[in-house]
Amino acid sequence: MPVTIAYLAVLLIWSTTPLGIIWSSESISPSLAVLLRMIIALILGGIIIKVRHINIPWHRKAYKLYSYSALGIFGGMMCSYLAASYLSSGIMSLVFGLSPILSAILAQKILREAKLSIIKQLAMVIAFIGLAIVCSDNINIENSRYIGYIYILFAVFFFSLSGVLVKSVSLAIHPLATTVGSLSFSLPLFLISWFILDGSLSIDEWQSKSVWSTLYLGVFGSLIGFYAYFYVLQKLTASTVTLITLVTPVIAITLGTLFNDEVLNSTLLYGASIILLGLTLYHWGDNIVKRMKKRRQFA
């Protein structure tokens, strides 16, 4: 697969996933929609593994890797689907854009990574101010939208925590093997959650938009997107890959406005701009400062 195509695939899939989650949950209960999505991904992944003769290790260290990955899959996806009943796809994508910042905080605590620079700390404050502005226009007790923010923040937390914990496991295996192994570990959790939260099929109530959205997320969102992301991560620089987290919220907000009649007001635009400014400063602020210092030295 050409790197350019893989990069564009990740951009498109990550940008459309929030809207796909909302559409798939319109006539299918959230817990069942995400369960079906994972079943589709696991079945297709298992077939590809079999056809391509990719080895899936089953030993103690691999179990640890799959468990850590399953934490992000289950916690991140389940909370995202529950949040979809309260929030727009654009806001969901914006909040998920903060995952690199939260990951850095967790990595500092768990992996004992170096302390964040002043620039990064300032960027974090700016990004969270932007989030507060976005939330201020949507939170009130009457419409219960605050519940959606709680769910999506938990989703980002589990996703970020999972990524940090995975880094602590030094095991080089095929990305698709990791995907199938992690889905195998997380699927029972999705099944139990569906049984507790819903427990019914109600197939006669399913609408075609929800069915097609679930199929799309199962094939592309959970399988192809994950594989393409790891492929891009191996081929491109970290700064180039990081650009994805800055572009996807913009595309997601645009798609939600065009195809789902989501409200795009000045407060959302203002808050989103501040969040993206904070993320940009977080990823490239230190490099910009270093370049400015070098220019002063040679001036």
Q: What is the pLDDT of residue 76?
A: 92
Q: What is the pLDDT along the chain (299 residues), one digit of tens a residue?
A: 678 888 888 889 989 999 999 999 999 999 999 999 999 999 999 999 999 999 999 999 999 999 998 998 999 999 999 999 888 898 898 888 888 888 888 888 888 777 888 988 898 899 889 888 887 765 655 567 788 889 999 999 998 898 888 888 888 888 888 889 999 999 999 999 999 999 888 899 999 999 999 999 999 988 888 778 767 766 776 556 667 777 888 899 899 999 998 888 888 888 889 988 988 888 788 888 888 877 777 66
pTM for the structure as a whole: 0.88
The count of other CB atoms within 10 Å of the CB of residue 298 is 5
Separate counts of helices (H) and strands (E) for the chain: 12, 0
- Torsion angles phi and psi, residue 143, rounded to 5: -90, 0
The full set of domain ranges for the chain reads 3-199+206-298
> How many whole angstroms separate alpha carbon 73 and alpha carbon 1?
25
Measured distance CA(155)–CA(134) in Å, rounded: 18
Burial 82-117 (b: 16+ CB within 10 A, else e): bbbbbbbbbbbbbbbbbbbbbbbebbeeeeeeeebe
